[in-house]
Structure 1
């Protein structure tokens, strides 16, 4: 095994460009267990042609555009500068209102503005979601739970520290929504398996998902990567456990 060449290869993967929220570069080198629910079907069930729609954390707007919702009734937020610039180039010319938002506790929209708010893998402040959602409006969120890839993070990062994100679970979020004045229409939690068929794909992934792999680099994690290389050669893959949950909640009238 030539670790010098492997290191050079992993560094190239570490430096590979990434834009939007598109992981197609490693699609053929990873395998992700399907979720027992379909986020897209859930969204389409509640989305009506006359709905005023907000997509929180739209990424590059890739999913939002598949909905083909009337552009004049479509709004989106995004914080990450490269993604926001991409949205300005692709969504704004269509008439979609895209706004850059860094502070979850302040969303630049009027009170009771939206019939439906969708959120896939984006942080949220439930007070703001409640404020801008119309009475009887629907909030649909699929979240990456706090236990996502934790075992792999612990293995890769010698100084990995647990944080409060571990409390980000279905149970805690359902309680949060109920206390705010939402009725829970649907909720489900799952721990799917994610497989990497080569270490380079993991390097690319870990460099992007910085909040799960803080301070990751090929140089600092080289020994661990070599151990994972041996695992790939032995069993053909590296396996990690993800954490997902989905909630559909309806804002009740006459609450806080």
Structure 2
């Protein structure tokens, strides 16, 4: 079992560290030595980069700080990204602007600020909400939507530690629902792959940082509001060495038909 790189810190110091560190962007390097997450075998970033290299016009939806898109080796002639959160917009613009990527501020609500059939490739890593009808609208005939989605009940061991049982959560983010909604929008689902992956947190400060960064996991989370739960979490990790949860992901590829039925 791994040990936190901050194991020498007291409970109060761990809480302070997790509560004051920057959570801007989607760079998770802060967690090094303090949490681990198993990765899906399909390698989204590499697969997405390969597709971008063959596309004429590409769009990355909800790009975060642009960290994943920045890994693309060869961009299409036309390349754009959308993001809604102002701190992430600034990070993405700085990271991607020198490579010719236009970062567009968007509220993550339809319609996307692009014309019909504007792109032959639309990608996204962990979109909060997928508006399938709008994706179908901006895809060219024969174009592809390629994305890695968060699956059902992802990291819910952490969520339910703080909030208690969440039975309704099993109904959300299901691959089967994504297939149904994509097909209802007129897209053909080429493939879906799913994975359940081990995630471990090695100190309570990493839990605090995670819940501040991924704000929808425990809505309204603050250290003060959940002080009792955080103390219990700290004690659990001290006793067991880590807190184990499971991340769920699914990879989906959908294509817009060349011709309408």
TM-score, normalised with respect to structure 2: 0.88
Task: Report the equivalent of 2:149.
Answer: 143
Aligned residues: 252
Task: Report the equivalent of 1:105.
Answer: 110
Structure 2: which 5+ residue stretches go unaligned?
A: 1-9
The more displaced of 136-145 and 224-233 is: 224-233
Residue 138 (structure 2) aligned to one of 109, 132, 139: 132
Deviations 1:21-72 (A, max 9, x none): 1110112211112213211233244334452110111111122121133364
* 1:22 lines up with 2:27 in the alignment: yes
Offset, 1:94: 3.5
Query: Equivalents in 1 of 2:156, 2:181: separation in Å?
Result: 24
1:70–1:246: structure 2 CA closer, same or farther, 3 Å change rule? closer
Deviations 1:130-184 (A, max 9, x none): 00101010101111123112232121136x7666684211011011112222222
Task: Report the equivalent of 2:158.
Answer: 152
Instruction: Note the 1:1-256 alignment, pairs <5 A.
Output: 5-70=10-75, 72-122=77-127, 123-157=129-163, 166-255=171-260
Query: Equivalents in 2 of 1:47, 1:9: separation in Å?
Result: 41
Contact 1:206 1:213 in 2 (8 A): yes
The runs of 4+ residues in structure 1 deviating greater than 6 Å are none
C-alpha RMSD over aligned residues: 2.2
Contact 1:30 1:195 in 2 (8 A): yes
1:204–1:198: structure 2 CA closer, same or farther, 3 Å change rule? same
